Structure 1
Amino acid sequence: MTETFSSVPIVDFARLTDPASKNEELSKLRDAIFVVGFLYLTNTGLEDLIRKTHADLPNLFALSAETKERCNMINSPSFLGYTRLGAETTATKTDLREQFDFGTPGMKPWTEQDHFWQRLEGPNQYPDYSGAQSLVEDYLAKIDGLAQEFVCLVAECLSLPLETFDGFKGNMSRLKFVKYPPAAQNSQGVGPHKDSAGLFTFLSQDNTGGLQVLNKNAEWIDVPPIEGSLVVNIQQGFEAITGGICAATTHRVIAPTSRTRYSIPFFLGVRLDLTLEQLKESAAHIVQRIPASDDKKKRAVDVPSEFLSPLYSCGVVVQPTQASDVSVALLWAQEYNVDVAVKGGGHSTAGTSSSDGGLVIDLSRLKEVTVDTARKSITAQGGATWKEVDEAGAIHGLAAVGGTVNHTGVGGLTLGGGYGWLSGQYGLTIDNLLSATVVLADGRIVTASATENIDLFWGLRGAGYNFGVVVDFTYQAYDQKDPVYSGLLGFTPDKLEAVMDVLNKSLEDPDSRFGAMCIFTLAPDGSGPMIILIGFFNGPREEGKRKFADFTALEPVLNTLDMIPYSVVNTLQNPQATYGDRKSFKGIFYEPPLDPQFARMIFNDFMAKIQSESDLSDSAIILEFTDMRKICEVPLASTSLASRNQTQNGIIYLRWTDPSKDLEHRAWAREVQSKWKIELDTRAPTQGDDSSVPQYINYAEPGDSVVSNIYGHNLNRLREVKIKYDPKNVFHKMHPISTDAHA
């Protein structure tokens, strides 16, 4: 069998249990497990049960909404019960299905004395429908018996003892009754996913169709119904137990267009008390005994298992949908001494959004943005990105001071200060923060503002990673009904000194409506080094043209300057700031005017490096030119941000793919960074303890700051706030605040 597939194989259960045909059928089962991760299982003896259960589903789902809502899943800590149409999302899109979830009967209710993970096993909620309980329990009992026998056969086909997987089986398995109503062409019934925490899924589908699986060529393969069969697939629990050799397969359901689709998936459960260490130990033991080829085993380590792959090295990921979920997660983590990380937009390159074996609170489901036109304010939940903020504000002719890459999370940028294209006019993002809702380490949910928890509000604005999980931010917004004059200019390397002269002039005679970024990089068409300028002017076209006249007089080889919506400006860097690969950000800073000869030396050295190593070809140095007057109007002690001065910011952005080069490339980036620090010290020798910190905290990777104290004179007060709101130091990922005054 080839290493990908174009159809799902059929395995005959009756032949698996017949000594005369067993070996031949075990070989087919082994191929299906190794190569596809999906198979049809026929002749199971459950055909009558499947037919009978499917016949009841239309009547069950025809119950009144009120009747179904009485057993809504929200009432069950074990996530058992009814889920209404459109209430779930997969891969960020709404699933067009409604369903009932049931579990193995006989589970006891969860109590406060139990471990938190034990709440996932509990009693069923049955709808008020005659025979519903017996329908569910009969199906569960019979399908579970088949599943147990099937797992033994899988062990046998892998040349393992029949009892190999017995110790991994959980107390509770799960059963769903699912209805997919007709929808528009190519609508999502359920989005692309892998079944997660169990061993195997056994799916009975009606004759409507719509199930598809993804092969290794990224092609969606139809899994058409075969009457009386079960579609069986590997779950990620089994993938982890086998070290990725038996991999789960991504699949989805395309919603029907003309008739209702019903399906009945059964998920054979895995033990919930398994630790990551136990899984890894078991996987290593089992992998050694599976007679796969060495090449197969080598590829197995690259399978992205949420349990075993270093890509997913955290122990638990929680995706809260409300603030109280965050409270529960934080209390659980402290009860079991588990490390905590918080993920907002996921832009951290230093690993601060993840945890090795710990708990990640992923805020990506908290993305709602609301606009108060009367107050001219915008409220964004903690998992939102600036894209959602920009677009929501634009509908009402408003804008907030936000990031310059629109898929940046609002949380990280705000809590570290927040520069944006509007900073020249309105200051930093933190200068426009009106309030924040914060979940503290002790589980309390509080508001921080100029009138409530004032000390916490002060700390959040510049050192905010240290005190709690911010689940929403409210920002002052400003009228932005008109488009702005903005776009890209591209210059050949010989124009570098002239470009620097014009940029320096923009800071000598500043205009709060003007801003620019200068990028040293390679041309997208591969033609060689280039200087890219992103220009911004918040005013009319003719005035904008005059502002950029000195630049356009240099005859750029690229010019896209035009009137565009403000929300589009924050997309201009997106083609460069994409996800993937290996990255390092190193913050740099300079005292204007920037010496053109120093810029030339940096440019030439940087280009020589990234041209000599093709794996670095997508790297860049980005220099910001911002009118700092509004930012510096705010007294240094008014917020916890220690960096308010005329020093300009920049960033060394390295990107590569070879893991073996990690240390080498990061070390080289530090060498380049140190040249900027030496240049700053040479240009501003009087800068000392009485000045603000030159380095912008959001551009300083933890443990890699080039200043000794990123918090400056605010550190002592920050220690007091830390002791008050996070005395156990639960939040310590991004520039942690030591409570030791002698540290």
Structure 2
Amino acid sequence: MGYCPRRLVFRAPEADQFTYHTPIQCGPRLWAWIQAFTPSQRHLSGTLCLFEADAFEFVLHFCIDFLIGNMFPRFLESSAIAAWTIATILPIGSCGPTARDVLARTPAAGINVKSLAPYLSPTAKIYYPGSTAFTNYTVRWSNLEKPTPSVVIVAGTEKDVSRIVKFASEQDIPVLAYNGHHGALSTLGRMDYGIEIYLPQLNTISIAKNKNLVTIGGGTNSKKLTDALWAAGKQTVTGTCECVSYLGPALGGGHGWLQGHHGLIADQFTSMNVVLANGDLKTIDATSDLWWAMQGAGHNFGIVTSVTSKIYDIVDTNWAIETIIFSGEKVEAIYEAANSVFIQNGTQSAKIHNWSYWQNDASLDADKPVIIMYIIQEGVTAVESRYTKPFHDLGPLKATPQAGTYHDLGAWTGIALDSPPCQDFGFNNPRFPIYTKSYNTTAQKKAYELYASAISGADSPYTNSIFMFEDYATAGIRNRPDGASAFAFRDAHILAAPLIIYASANKTQDDAVKQLGSQLREIIREGTGSSELHTYVNYAYGDEGTKSWYGYETWRQDRLKALKMKYDPKSKFNFYAGIA
């Protein structure tokens, strides 16, 4: 349930801000007069409580200073206006909670949703700026170039999403779906007003009777899905980080621990319900021309309210990890060993994964970032020595073996629900991703030296940063042809990304971080020998461009643009790595 507004704030371009806390009832004429006072709705912020009655009336709370202060004479220049105003205002009691609480006029857009509210489900909620719920539901994992919606509508059903998008389309109001709120592209900042559609109530998980398929609500969290399937003796490919949504990563392809066996998250889909730009709720599958685009560029074409995915029997309950930590001076030797032990020219085992982080740990090295190697193996209680010995031979600072299950992977790699990366600290968290096929050890050393010079030490503003290198097993991804979906980089073996974490001081610092991240990525790109920048759209900074996000082939770009023109000609879904 939403709740009744506490105040209305009037702000004119030439005036101070005033607030009045006594409730009054306002008829349509007074509301028209208030609107006339503020022809630019960007100078009026307020909230209106809508009642379902024979005639809709509005409850307003506005500024006593406005009524009796030095601005009052300006608006009561004639006794007729004064009499009209006084006759229109009637005292009433304060209103209680109602399922139809709406934001009728917002600071940014003059969005009026009173005609939409009666058509939403009983569990739908609408929140406005100034409320605790609005603040909670608009928070982002990264504060850099974050979107600024004017109103939050919490969808209670799939049809709610359809009705909201249809309403927004008819009113030419931007919309943006929120789920796990971890998308950090700078393009999201282009949403400076509009409706946020909050999806986490759409979190149903229904396993089919044949136990080969599961239907997943569009707001479901990855860990919730993993836990539900595990309890049924099943599993599927999900994102690795426990706090992210299931579908957010999937629409950009979606990497996961089980991809060596089964492919990307999106490769598991058999059908989906998607709300298109005009508000239509459609069920699509491989027979639709849109199906190809939804697997890799799906953010551009609609809001997925549910999806049906393949699931699999749990084959191995045992997993093991060995965490081996080095000083940075060994960077070249470490990644030369990684090429020979793991990458193996693309023949890596489906049961082995290798991640590495560059990050500060003063307990091990007070001067420079350490290199943390995670060697993860499925189906064992200890990682086999053929994978660990080459690294032991390099003289690490520390080595820690652990045994457990699939459920332990998040905690082992620092991305569990309670891990720091899953908390909302209010930092800026831009990433600068690049796909590669192997490690260029010269480039690794050059990148490490630049990175260390920027983030070393507790006094660095970037001291909490992480340079990530994710080497998943990739055989399952390559089992599908390159052109099977809009995900363009099935031949890549490594996903590298500096994540620069900082509390922003000003735009100058933001620009400096962008330059640093871009330089680090450029060093890695030069090491590939390719002029092309291949990026993972779900990690993207936001300025890479459509070729880097969706592939350099002309046929890919042409196909995406044609589908965009067909299904979203007005580019309603364009805030997340937009095609148009």
TM-score by length of 2: 0.73
Match of 2:524 among 660, 667, 676: 676
Instruction: Give the secondary-structure state (helix, strand or coil) at the position aligned to 1:425.
Output: helix
Counterpart of 2:260? 424
Q: In structure 1, the residue corresponding to 2:257 is in which secondary structure?
A: coil
SS at match of 1:330: helix
Q: Which has the larger radius of gyration?
A: 1
* 2:117 corresponds to: none
> Cα offset for 1:604?
1.7
Query: Is contact 1:487-1:569 (8 Å) kept?
Result: no
Cα separation, 1, equivalents of 2:392 and 2:68: 72
**What's the counterpart of residue 371 of structure 1?**
207
Q: Conserved in 2, the CA contact under 8 Å of 1:345 and 1:411?
A: no
Shift of 1:709: 6.9
2:376 to 519, 533, 536: 536
Q: Alpha-carbon deviation of 1:596?
A: 2.2
Per the TM alignment, residue 603 of structure 1 is displaced from its structure 2 partner at its CA by 1.0
Partner SS, residue 432 of structure 2: strand
Contact 2:109 2:150 in 1 (8 A): no
Q: C-alpha displacement at 1:169, in angstroms?
A: 10
Whether the 8 Å CA contact 2:550–2:556 is kept in 1: the answer is no
- Whether the 8 Å contact between 1:402 and 1:419 is mirrored in structure 2 is yes
Quote the residue 2:219 is aligned against: 383
CA distance in 1: counterparts of 2:515 and 2:263, whole angstroms:
34
1:622-641 to 2 correspondences below 5 Å? 622-641=468-487
Once the two structures are superposed, the pairs formed by residues 688-707 of structure 1 within 5 Å of their partners are 694-705=534-545, 707=547
Distance in 2 of aligned mates of 1:318 and 1:305: 11
Shift in alpha-carbon separation, 1:426–1:340, aligned structure 2, 3 A: same
Q: Deviations over 1:23-43 (max 9, x none)?
A: xxxxxxxxxx99xx99xx9xx
| Range with greater deviation from structure 2 (409-418 or 714-723) | 714-723
| Match for residue 107 of structure 2 among 260, 276, 292 | 276
What pairs with 1:79-478 in structure 2 (closer than 5 Å)?
120-123=50-53, 155=64, 160=69, 174-175=95-96, 273-276=104-107, 313-351=148-186, 355-372=191-208, 374-451=210-287, 454-478=288-312
Distance change (3 Å), C-alpha of 1:443 and 1:524: farther
CA distances 1:401-453 after superposition (whole Å, capped 9, x unpaired): 121211112222101111111112221111112221111122221112224xx
Cα offsets for 1:281-332 (capped at 9, x unmatched): xxxxxxxxxxxxxxxxxxxxx9999599998831111110111111111122
1:590 and 2:436 matched: yes
Distance (Å, rounded) in 1 between the aligned partners of 2:500 and 2:228: 32
Relative to 1, partners in 2 of residues 1:118 and 1:525: Cα closer, same or farther, differing over 3 Å?
same
Query: Does 2:579 align with 1:737?
Result: yes
The CA deviation string for residues 208-251 of structure 1, in whole angstroms up to 9 with x for no partner, is xxxxxxxxxxxxxxxxxxxxxxxxxxxxxxxxxxxxxxxxxxxx
Counterpart residue identity of residue 150, structure 2? G
Does 2:515 align with 1:667?
Answer: yes
The aligned amino acid for 2:472 is T
Native 8 Å contact 1:371 1:392 kept in 2: no
| 8 Å CA contact retained: 1:394, 1:567 | no
Q: What CA distance in whole angstroms lies between the structure 1 residues aligned with 2:147 and 2:434?
A: 31
Determine the structure 2 residue equivalent to 1:727. Answer: 569
Alpha-carbon distance in structure 1 between the residues aligned to 2:209 and 2:286: 21
Over 3 Å counting, the alpha-carbon distance change for 1:533 and 1:397 in structure 2 is farther
Q: Per-residue deviation at 1:118?
A: 9.2
1:513 matched residue in structure 2: 351
Query: Is the alpha carbon distance of 1:383 and 1:488 closer, same or farther for their aligned partners in structure 2, counting shifts above 3 Å?
Result: farther
Shift of 1:163: 7.2
Q: Partner of 1:585: helix, strand, or coil?
A: coil
| Conservation of the 8 A alpha-carbon contact between 1:421 and 1:536 | no
Give the aligned partner of residue 573 of structure 1.
414
Please name the residue that 2:125 is paired with: none
Q: Distance in 2 between matches of 1:104 and 1:376?
A: 57
Conserved? CA contact 2:327–2:365, under 8 Å: no
State the Cα distance separating 1:679 from its structure 2 match.
Answer: 1.8
The CA RMSD over aligned residues, in Å, is: 4.2
Task: Decide which of 478, 486, 496 is 2:321's aligned counterpart.
Answer: 486
Tell me by how many angstroms 1:378 deviates: 3.1
SS in 1 for 2:249: helix
Q: Distance in 2 between matches of 1:670 and 1:542?
A: 38
Question: Does the aligned pair in 1 maintain the 2:260–2:476 contact within 8 Å?
Answer: yes
Task: Provide the residue aligned with 2:557 in structure 1.
Answer: 715
Instruction: Give the direction of change, closer, same or farther, for the CA distance of 1:172–1:373 in structure 2 (3 Å limit).
Output: farther
The Cα of 1:731 is off from its aligned counterpart by 0.8
Identity %: 22
Contact 2:185–2:577 (CA under 8 A) maintained in structure 1: no
In 2, Cα distance between the equivalents of 1:351 and 1:665?
13
- Displacement of 1:277: 5.1
Q: Secondary structure at the match of 1:512?
A: coil
Q: Which residue of 2 aligns with 1:297?
A: none
Question: Which structure has more RCO (C-alpha within 8 Å, separation ≥ 6)?
Answer: 2
Cα distance per residue 1:378-416 (max 9 Å; x no partner):
332222221111111221222211212111122221011
CA contact (8 A) 1:121 1:172 kept: no
Report if the CA contact (8 A) 1:424-1:515 is conserved.
no
- The Cα of 1:677 is off from its aligned counterpart by 1.9
SS state of the match for residue 614, structure 1? coil
Residue aligning to 2:491: 645
Cα separation, partners in 2 of 1:601 and 1:405, compared to 1, 3 Å: same
Match of 1:221 in 2: none
C-alpha distance 541-373 of structure 1, shift in aligned 2 (>3 A): farther
Q: Answer whether contact 2:296 2:486 (CA < 8 A) is retained.
A: yes
Q: Alignment partner of 2:573: what SS?
A: coil
Residue identity opposite 2:358 in structure 1: F
Tell whether the 8 Å contact from 1:590 to 1:679 is kept in structure 2 after alignment.
no
Match of 2:451 in 1: 606
Cα separation, 1, equivalents of 2:337 and 2:547: 30
For these two proteins, the number of residue pairs brought into alignment is 487
Contact 1:326 1:361 in 2 (8 A): yes
User: What letter is aligned with 1:424?
Assistant: G
- Partner Cα distance (2:365, 2:338) in 1: 25
The letter of the residue matching 1:123 is A
**Which sections of structure 1, spanning at least 5 residues, go unmatched?**
1-32, 42-102, 108-116, 125-143, 178-195, 198-270, 280-301, 688-692, 739-743
Contact 1:104 1:172 (C-alpha < 8 Å) held by counterparts? no
Partner AA of 1:725 in structure 2: Y
Instruction: Return the letter of the residue paired with 2:306.
Output: D
Distance in 1 separating the partners of 2:250 and 2:171: 30
**Greater shift in the superposed pair: 410-419 or 485-494:** 485-494
TM-aligned CA distance change 1:393 to 1:673, over 3 Å? same
1:550 aligns with 2:390: yes
The structure-2 alpha-carbon separation of the partners of 1:405 and 1:176, relative to structure 1 and needing over 3 Å to count, comes to: closer
What is the alpha-carbon distance in structure 1 between the residues aligned to residue 329 and residue 209 of structure 2? 49
Q: Distance in 2 between matches of 1:278 and 1:401?
A: 40
- Partners in 1 of 2:527 and 2:307 — Cα distance? 38
